[in-house]
């Protein structure tokens, strides 16, 4: 009896604990869930109707642009307010204020770049129509904040603060954050300088063919004009290749994984606007998608829009020389608030080129196109309205950056491409070698005119393919420099599309998930040939070579060959870089590295290795030693996906005690995604890394919009308890996607904003 009574009390205690946890979860995480039906009194001029589909995407109908963008701001904040708050704090250097000293390093870097000061300056000069669109959006965000301060998202409760009002400057900041994320090249320049300091200049230059990409032999670059060259893929095919006889356009932008993902699905309708696609939380309009006439996609151009100038700078006085004359830098004081700690002061010295950066005993001034006075515009609302190629390119010509490849198609059967962004014109440019700003010989000469940027319209083969590689021809009239991608992804895309007929969206989706790597296939065959010439005495080397010899180059998560190849590349790449700059091999990194390694192995120039076959087989042996430490001695049982796992961690929920996270998983679902094994590589169409991958997948069918496909990696909502928190993950992981509703919207809930 006593035992039964004790068990009864234990069960009651557990039940009460579960009930208390459930009530707490509801109070702090359930009440903030957004309203998706009924009516909301709001400062709109006329009724706005919102239909939510099965994925939680809002299809917004409004009588005018102001009401439409107000509703977009409100609804985005309802699902993504914490993400928007985190983005603007990350972009503005204000993380430490809410997370403590752990955010200080990020804040200091951002303050050195003067991000908020630059955004505030851009606010005063941006076109009035762009500012008005952002202001309407901000009013919607603030209407949500003001009416939900008693039930803010869980993250605000945990960190113990309320968000300040949203502003147009915050939206500009988020645009600058994307600019920074996609154009920060000065660390590459410093990395190369470190290698040059202790290395062989000719060899180091060989490892960094990033000025144009045309230093590589023809086998390793696309033929001029054949392709419009952080990884992303986008392509357009003409109706001659499709089942409908109309074009198709595909895009999967590759960015860093996060929870929630970076994009928010939205469909915007007003009297002169009907556009659907992905939006960026904090920004109005649609970034990538289609209206009823045209569609477009984006990939990063990777053009270098940053330069470092060596300054003879006096840290005490702020004086420096420019063109033989002593100049006085302007000091800017930054005071960074830090939660539970004293504020931290930072002094920025600003020269004619930009803020001073310290690297050992050297002082560099950083010039960045994003900080150029009067350069910021936001043309996406104009792009959303464009009806044809002429209107589209006119809008794109206003896009300041980050430099992008815009891919286009329309219902009339046209496909097109245009590079974009403010790209500096450099005179006597030394590639990525930092230069002496005192001489004045390397000043920018303005920006390349939009009309002279690479473009294409209705190419004869009916294919436009862009995957971050260099689109500038060897005879381009301006000096070109960028951290362009190697050719492997674009070549595979083109190979999979050339000669195809009857394409449908599911066929182009299959291209997006392709994990074949031409580079790793080449490396495997090179290892097999090397072993034929130099038989290793190690049985595991022979076993590995036998696997690689018959391998098809698929970077499959369930196979051992991709792991053998990936580890071999790591060891050989480091060995190559150590020859160029002894002791610095570990810091060598560039997007062109696979093409550089293939070039080295194909041409085998003297002065690198006495015996190339022996060198690469030693790297294979080192790779096998490393792999055996990780996954055991039986190579055939190695699994690439165990080595190449993806964990998308919620920035706050991931830090909860394990017992609490386990309880949440049992009652609801996990805060995180993964860890899960991944297929793919940096040189496959499905470009995947531990932190980076496709941030969306879009496949547009201009013959019937309802056959188009769209998929986010995780879900539409940033609320952990929402049914749309991770309801797209399984489709993303298996690359099955969802119909992109446009003309026929299957509404699950209807919400109305009515005038107050």
Q: Which two tokens stand for residue 319?
A: 């004086």
- CATH classification for the domain delimited by 518-644, as one of 3.40.50.1370, 1.10.3720.10, 3.40.50.2300, 1.10.1400.10: 1.10.1400.10
C-alpha distances out from residue 290 to 183, 264, 707, Å = 26, 15, 13
Q: Does the pLDDT at position 10 exceed 90?
A: no
Residues 501, 505, 511, 512, Cα dihedral to 10°? 160
Bridge partners of residue 699, in order along the sequence: 250, 709
Please give the pLDDT value at position 439: 40
Mean pLDDT value of segment 175-192 = 88
Give backbone dihedrals phi and psi of 116, rounded to 5 degrees, phi first: -70, -40
Average pLDDT, the chain: 91
Please give the pLDDT value at position 308: 86
Least confident of 198-212, 262-276, 574-588, 683-697: 198-212
Q: Tell me the pLDDT tens digit for each residue of 84-103.
A: 999 999 999 999 999 999 99
Q: Which segments of 422-506 are extended strands (E)?
A: 424-426, 435-436, 444-447, 455-457, 463-466
Q: Does the pLDDT at position 2 exceed 80?
A: no
Please give the pLDDT value at position 636: 96
Q: Does the pLDDT at position 4 exceed 80?
A: no
Distance CA 200, CA 231 (A): 30
Please calculate the CA angle 148-152-158 and round it to the nearest 5 degrees: 160
Distance CA 670, CA 675 (A): 11
Distance CA 129, CA 408 (A): 24
Around 585, how many Cα atoms within 13 Å sit in the side-chain half-sphere?
Answer: 14
Q: Which residues contact 4 (CB under 8 A, 6 or more apart)?
A: none
Q: Tell me the pLDDT tens digit for each residue of 131-145.
A: 999 999 999 999 999
Please calculate the CA angle 722-81-141 and round it to the nearest 5 degrees: 120
The band of 28, judged by pLDDT with boundaries at 50, 70 and 90, is low
The band of 18, judged by pLDDT with boundaries at 50, 70 and 90, is low
Distance CA 71, CA 67 (A): 6
Q: Which residues contact 316 (CB under 8 A, 6 or more apart)?
A: none
The band of 590, judged by pLDDT with boundaries at 50, 70 and 90, is confident
Q: Does the pLDDT at position 533 exceed 90?
A: no
Is residue 13 within 8 A of residue 729, CB to CB? The reply is no
Distance CA 203, CA 206 (A): 5
Cβ atoms < 10 Å from Cβ of 674: 15
Pairing of strands 415-419, 455-457: antiparallel
Please give the pLDDT value at position 660: 79
Cβ atoms < 10 Å from Cβ of 179: 24
Mean pLDDT value of segment 526-548 = 91
The band of 655, judged by pLDDT with boundaries at 50, 70 and 90, is confident
Q: Tell me the pLDDT tens digit for each residue of 656-679.
A: 888 878 877 877 788 899 999 999
Mean pLDDT value of segment 196-207 = 92
The band of 222, judged by pLDDT with boundaries at 50, 70 and 90, is very low
Q: Tell me the pLDDT tens digit for each residue of 430-443.
A: 444 444 443 444 68
Domain spans in the chain, listed from the N-terminal domain onward: 1-30, 60-185+307-371, 518-644
The band of 713, judged by pLDDT with boundaries at 50, 70 and 90, is very high
Distance CA 524, CA 288 (A): 38
Distance CA 311, CA 504 (A): 56
Please give the pLDDT value at position 220: 46
Domain 60-185+307-371: CATH class, spelled out: mainly alpha
Please give the pLDDT value at position 743: 95
Please give the pLDDT value at position 15: 57
Please give the pLDDT value at position 474: 87
């Amino acid at each position: 009896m006593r035992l039964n009574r004790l068990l009864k009390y234990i069960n009651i205690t557990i039940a009460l604990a579960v009930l208390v946890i459930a009530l707490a979860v509801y109070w702090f995480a359930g009440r903030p869930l957004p309203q998706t039906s009924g009516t909301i009194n709001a400062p709109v001029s006329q009724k706005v109707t919102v239909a939510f589909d099965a994925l939680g995407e809002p299809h917004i109908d409004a009588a005018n642009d102001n009401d439409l963008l107000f509703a977009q701001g409100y609804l985005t904040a309802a699902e993504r307010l914490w993400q928007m708050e985190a983005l603007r704090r990350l972009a503005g250097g204000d993380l430490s204020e809410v997370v403590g000293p752990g955010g200080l390093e990020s804040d200091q870097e951002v303050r050195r770049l003067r991000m908020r000061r630059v955004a505030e300056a851009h606010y005063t000069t941006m076109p009035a129509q762009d500012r008005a669109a952002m202001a309407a959006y901000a009013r919607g965000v603030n209407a949500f904040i003001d009416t939900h301060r008693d039930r803010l998202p869980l993250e605000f409760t945990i960190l113990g603060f309320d968000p300040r009002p949203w502003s147009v400057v915050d939206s500009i900041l988020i645009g600058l954050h994307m600019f920074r994320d996609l154009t920060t090249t000065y660390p590459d320049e410093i990395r190369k300088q470190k290698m040059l300091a202790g290395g062989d200049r000719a060899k180091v230059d060989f490892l960094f063919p990033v000025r144009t990409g045309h230093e590589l032999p023809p086998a390793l670059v696309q033929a001029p004009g054949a392709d419009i060259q952080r990884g992303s893929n986008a392509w357009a095919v003409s109706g001659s290749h499709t089942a409908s006889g109309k074009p198709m356009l595909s895009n999967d932008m590759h960015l860093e994984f996060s929870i929630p993902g970076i994009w928010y699905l939205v469909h915007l309708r007003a009297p002169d606007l009907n556009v659907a696609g992905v939006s960026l939380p904090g920004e109005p309009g649609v970034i990538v998608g289609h209206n009823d006439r045209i569609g477009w996609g984006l990939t990063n151009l990777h053009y270098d829009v940053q330069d470092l100038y060596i300054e003879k700078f006096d840290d005490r006085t702020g004086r420096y020389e420019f063109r033989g004359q002593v100049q006085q830098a302007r000091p800017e004081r930054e005071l960074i608030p830090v939660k539970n700690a004293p504020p931290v002061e930072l002094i920025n010295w600003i020269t004619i080129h930009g803020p001073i950066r310290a690297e050992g005993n050297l002082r560099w001034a950083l010039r960045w196109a994003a900080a150029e006075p009067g350069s910021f515009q936001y043309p996406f609302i104009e792009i959303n309205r464009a009806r044809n190629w002429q209107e589209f390119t006119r809008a794109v010509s206003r896009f300041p950056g980050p430099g992008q490849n815009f891919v286009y198609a329309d219902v009339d059967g046209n496909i097109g491409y245009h590079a974009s962004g403010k790209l500096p014109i450099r005179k006597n440019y030394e590639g990525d070698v930092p230069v002496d700003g005192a001489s004045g010989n390397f000043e920018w000469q303005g920006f390349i005119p939009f009309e002279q940027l690479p473009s294409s319209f209705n190419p004869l083969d009916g294919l436009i393919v862009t995957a971050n590689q260099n689109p500038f021809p060897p005879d381009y009239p301006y000096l070109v420099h960028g951290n362009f991608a190697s050719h492997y992804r674009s070549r595979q895309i083109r190979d999979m599309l050339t000669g195809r007929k009857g394409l449908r969206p599911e066929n182009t989706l299959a291209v997006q998930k392709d994990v074949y790597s031409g580079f790793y296939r080449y490396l495997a065959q090179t290892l097999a040939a090397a072993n034929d010439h130099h038989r290793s005495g190690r049985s595991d080397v022979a076993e590995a070579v036998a696997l690689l010899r018959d391998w098809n180059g698929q970077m499959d998560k369930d196979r051992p060959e991709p792991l053998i190849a990936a580890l071999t590349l790591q060891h050989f790449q480091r060995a190559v870089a150590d020859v160029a700059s002894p002791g610095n091999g570990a810091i060598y990194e560039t997007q062109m590295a696979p093409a550089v390694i293939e070039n080295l192995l194909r041409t085998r120039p003297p002065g690198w290795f006495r015996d190339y076959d022996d060198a690469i087989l030693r790297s294979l042996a080192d790779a096998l030693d490393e792999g055996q430490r990780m996954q055991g001695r039986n190579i055939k049982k190695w699994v690439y996906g165990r080595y190449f796992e993806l964990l998308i961690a919620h920035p706050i929920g991931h830090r909860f005690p394990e017992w609490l996270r386990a309880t949440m998983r049992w009652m609801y679902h996990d805060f995180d995604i993964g860890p899960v094994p991944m297929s793919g590589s940096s040189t496959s169409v499905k470009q995947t890394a531990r932190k980076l991958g496709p941030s969306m997948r879009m496949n547009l069918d201009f013959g019937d919009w309802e056959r188009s496909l769209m998929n986010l990696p995780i879900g539409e909502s940033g609320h952990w308890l929402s049914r749309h928190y991770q309801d797209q993950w399984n489709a993303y992981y298996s690359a099955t996607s969802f119909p992109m509703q446009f003309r026929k919207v299957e509404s699950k809930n209807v919400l109305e904003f009515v005038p107050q």
